[in-house]
A = this chain, B = another copy of it.
Amino acid sequence: MKRVVAEIITIGDEILYGQTLDTNAHWISGALDETGVKVIRRTTCGDVEEEILDAFRIAEHRADIILITGGLGPTNDDLTKPCLAKYFDCDIVMNKQALSELEAYMASRGRTLNKLTRLQAALPEKCEIVGNERGTACGMWFNKQGKVFCSMPGVPHEMQYMMREKVIPRIEKEFELPVIYHKIVRLAGIGESWLAEKIEGWENSLPENVSLAYLPAFGDLKLRLTATGKALDQIKGQTDDLIRELMPLIDKYVYGYDDDSLESVIGRLLRKKHQKLAIAESCTGGFVAHKITSVPGSSDYFNGAMVPYQNDMKIDLLGVRKETILEYGAVSEETVLEMAGNVRKKYKADYGLASSGIAGPGGGTPEKPVGLIWIACAHGDEITTRKLNLTKDREVNIRITAIALLTLLHERLVQND
């Protein structure tokens, strides 16, 4: 079976000039790979008609599927639509279906159409529209002698929604794709090279049709197995067997699979036990609460959080003892112990989390350098603490601390299960 191959074209001067990081091409690459479509080329060109048309022409020669993002705004610098009309030799006309969907979208947000926004529904005559329930620019699908061009908006969440709900299902229907099975094992609390050492023997004995990728991010780590074959049942069974062999080596670090996140797994465990969570975060500044509340339905188990960013707030509002802060400092095991215990009680929760540290880049001392962070997890009267020595980078420190705190909570939840 010949592999179906795709090219991704991203359009926009802001990408070529280095002002916007092209995360769309990256996301689409991953989505196509999971679907069994082989990406052979990615191209970025600017907002220039000849460049865009040239990219279309070259892509059509080498790929079966050409996915395009960007350049769909209503303003003059957005050229994707006129270029598509020219390439497919047709006019741009008001599309009634697109207009009524656009009106419905605007009405649902309590807004009316202005002249420029209305133009979003004017589309090349030869396209089929790909609805966008998340924004004003709809997608366009063109068939040309067995090849597909599909243009999507550049706003990442709109493009992702459109790919997931419309484009991928249609590609799966129109093309014959190999059977691919992905299984992601999600780990926390272990680094990439430590993991690689632990599983070296297992990795070296993987069969030829199964490949392995390490995908690390801020202390969170994904191991992705990809099996290709002819029958889904067969490669699914094969992958499951391989993971069964792997688990004894790594099970204490595994928190979930596939689309699980640390926060969604924690949510499931808390909901199952009818238990509640509260958080007191200083150096993480609200980011841990943000992660917990980004899970739909988190109000079932999350009572609330506080971010006492000043010492007197820690004392007056969270009840940390003044003597503790005077004697040990706000960044200390003693202080996070009280923070975790007190927030648990104040917010009537079963589990209390706390963080306090020097996120940086300023504020460090020889005894307490930037990157020193204490975290704690309280459950009943038992409080576990952990000390982290992180980086000089504020954003990195916040992210790694959040993962470490959620990892600590997850461990406690599993122990008590």
Contacts and interface: CB of A to CB of B under 8 A. Distances in A.
A290 B294 contact: no
Given A26-B21, A77-B212, A197-B114, A290 B286 contact: yes
A41 B40 contact: no
Contacts of A307: 279, 286, 289, 293, 304-307
Contacts of A111: 389
B116 A196 contact: yes
Contacts of A298: 285, 309
B74 A192 contact: yes
A213 B29 contact: no
A203 B76 contact: yes
Contacts of A143: none
A229 interface: no
A324 interface: no
A214 interface: yes
A14 B111 CA distance: 43
Contacts of A136: 193
Chain A: number of interface residues, binned into ranges: 35 or more
A297 B114 contact: no
B306 A391 contact: no
Contact of A304 (B16, B157, B299, B310): B310
A48 to B, nearest CB: 8
A134 B51 contact: no
Interface in A7-21: 13-21
B299 A309 contact: yes
A306 B306 CA distance: 4
B43 A42 contact: yes
Contacts of A92: none
B42 A18 contact: no
Contact of A18 (B18, B27, B47, B302): B27
A240 to B, nearest CB: 20
A275 interface: no
Contact of A213 (B19, B51, B396): B19
A282 to B, nearest CB: 9
A95 interface: no
B51 A46 contact: no
A385 interface: no
A116 B77 contact: no
A22 B26 contact: yes
A162 interface: no
Contacts of A285: 289-290, 292-294, 298
A330 to B, nearest CB: 10
A272 to B, nearest CB: 18
B317 A308 contact: no
Contacts of A396: 134, 157
Interface string A299-330: 10011111111101100010000000000000
5 contacts: A43-B43, A74-B192, A285-B298, A286-B292, A294-B398
